Structure 1
Amino acid sequence: MAALRGALRVATLTAGARRAESGSLASSCLADRRLWDQLHARPRPGSSPTFDWFFGYDEAQTLLLPFLQRAPAAGPTRVLDVGCGTSGLCMGLYTKCPHPVDVLGVDFSPVAVAHMNSLLEGGQGQTLCPGHPTSRLRFMQADAKNLEPVATSGFFHLVLDKGTWDAVVRGGLPGAHQLLSECLRVLNPQGTLIQFSDEDPDVRMPNLEKGSPGWTVSVQELGPFQGISYFAYLFQGQQ
């Protein structure tokens, strides 16, 4: 959580925010959509068209690839990234994964979704070529706490949450548990949900286990990346 708030402060200052602390983005609730609309509307640091909290696809791919290569016989691995924002994670999955994937990024910020769809359509000089000829990539506006408009139960083989629980829980634990419940609802019983965070397992695991009866929850340490250690919290059903 410290890394997420730290990145938010850096992005805010880089974008030129000069308001008093009481009205700045850095002091706003991370569960508030208005904050993210404002943040995603600001110029991104450097020249990159995307911006990643924590880390990007390159750092996560060693963990992700074993799950992605287990492509179901019926078609590509269906992947959902909840709270995708303007992260490059979905694009990395689409352009760099050598296995067939059908990737959907959802976010409640229409500003973020419009930006990512613009890149997908060739905006800012982007030319996206799939890592596998049958792979697909889409973006959709949706609240991760209500995925009914997105998919039926058990639809996705892999669900990713990179910092979304961390943001939602700032609005209260019930909202975070609703997010987790929806992620597990749309996850195939043989699939995996992965939450990426810098929050310590001693703090996080009791809340995750309480909110996921019937699922096995484990944790793997990642990094350090830029001096910060992260954790991948994995939810798995029947394997």
Structure 2
Amino acid sequence: MAALRRTLHLASLAAGTRRTVAGSLAGSCLADRSLWDKLHAQPRQGSVCTFDWFFGYEEAQGLLLPLLEKSRAACPPRVLDVGCGTSSLCTGLYTKCPHPVDVLGVDFSPVAVAHMNSLLEGGQGQTPLCPGHPESSLHFMQADGQNLQPLASSGSFQLVLDKGTWDAVARGGLPGAYQLLAECLRVLSPQGTLIQFSDEDPDVRLPCLEKGSQGWTVTVQELGPFRGITYFAYVVQGSD
């Protein structure tokens, strides 16, 4: 798939670290947890605290904030970032969203979850993260996106985010990717929205999503280009 044939563009990492990360992922199975444990354990240069596939919160906020504004009937709306890694999506929503929001980031890598909890709480000499709205909250938990039963009941989130997680899981086989999708839709409110961020071509991704999301509306929006690459937001929504 296109997202994994291209070099990962990690804007939040220094150039030397980018080369190391790209090299460590080349030819690897991105569905392997040990790979991500190793990646997230790599030392970060300077004040860099996050690692983003494709792009970070700043590039996604124009799509996310209107959806959260629309979801304010659930106050605060609950957001789930599946396969959050050490991305800036969760922290950006928590620290910069002007509306109250309850954000949960989950990842199967305990290394990633420990890092993000440390960042949230101000570990390693850093200042704790401050919410953009006093009623906002942020939590991180270790969980497999293909089995969210232990931590999330059906219909409990208004917005579910997947930035590159389908791409990674699909490297281990499409059945796993479809199971990930099924779990995302299970925990999504009937009026909620699932967004998959990817650079995979719509001709490839849309048939998969339409097959796995029967009864939901599937659309696609272009994002970018960012650093010369056009990305896509695959939007799966329930009825209004």
Q: TM-score, structure 1 length as denominator? A: 0.91
Indicate if the aligned counterparts of 1:44 and 1:51 stay in contact, CA closer than 8 A.
no
Distance 1:17 1:202, change over 3 A: closer
CA distance in 1, matches of 2:133, 2:70: 14
- 1:184-232 CA deviation, whole Å, 9 max, x = no partner? 0000000000000000101111111111110110000000001110000
Matched to 2:56, the amino acid is G
The question of 1:216 aligning with 2:235 is answered no
What corresponds to 2:90 in structure 1?
Answer: 90
- 1:22-61 CA deviation, whole Å, 9 max, x = no partner? xx54222000101000000002355311111111111000
Matched to 1:162, the amino acid is K
The question of 1:14 aligning with 2:17 is answered yes
Indicate if the aligned counterparts of 1:71 and 1:99 stay in contact, CA closer than 8 A.
no
Shift of 1:123: 1.9
The question of 1:43 aligning with 2:46 is answered no
Matched to 1:101, the amino acid is V
What corresponds to 1:201 in structure 2?
Answer: 202
Matched to 2:146, the amino acid is K
- SS of residue matched to 2:171: helix
CA distance in 2, matches of 1:204, 1:3: 11
Distance 1:54 1:135, change over 3 A: same
What corresponds to 1:177 in structure 2?
Answer: 178
Shift of 1:81: 0.1
Distance 1:69 1:175, change over 3 A: same
Distance 1:209 1:112, change over 3 A: same
Residue segments in structure 2 that go unaligned for 5+ positions in a row: none
Distance 1:29 1:59, change over 3 A: same
CA distance in 1, matches of 2:2, 2:87: 18
What corresponds to 2:53 in structure 1?
Answer: 53
- 1:86-135 CA deviation, whole Å, 9 max, x = no partner? 11110000000001100000000000000000111102413311111100
CA distance in 2, matches of 1:163, 1:221: 15
Indicate if the aligned counterparts of 1:78 and 1:102 stay in contact, CA closer than 8 A.
yes
Residue segments in structure 1 that go unaligned for 5+ positions in a row: none
The question of 1:148 aligning with 2:139 is answered no
Indicate if the aligned counterparts of 1:15 and 1:44 stay in contact, CA closer than 8 A.
no
Distance 1:118 1:176, change over 3 A: same
Q: RMSD over aligned Cα, in angstroms?
A: 2.3
Count residues with an aligned counterpart: 235
- 1:122-173 CA deviation, whole Å, 9 max, x = no partner? 0241331111110000000000000001210000000000000000000000
CA distance in 1, matches of 2:206, 2:195: 13
Indicate if the aligned counterparts of 1:15 and 1:42 stay in contact, CA closer than 8 A.
no
- SS of residue matched to 2:119: helix
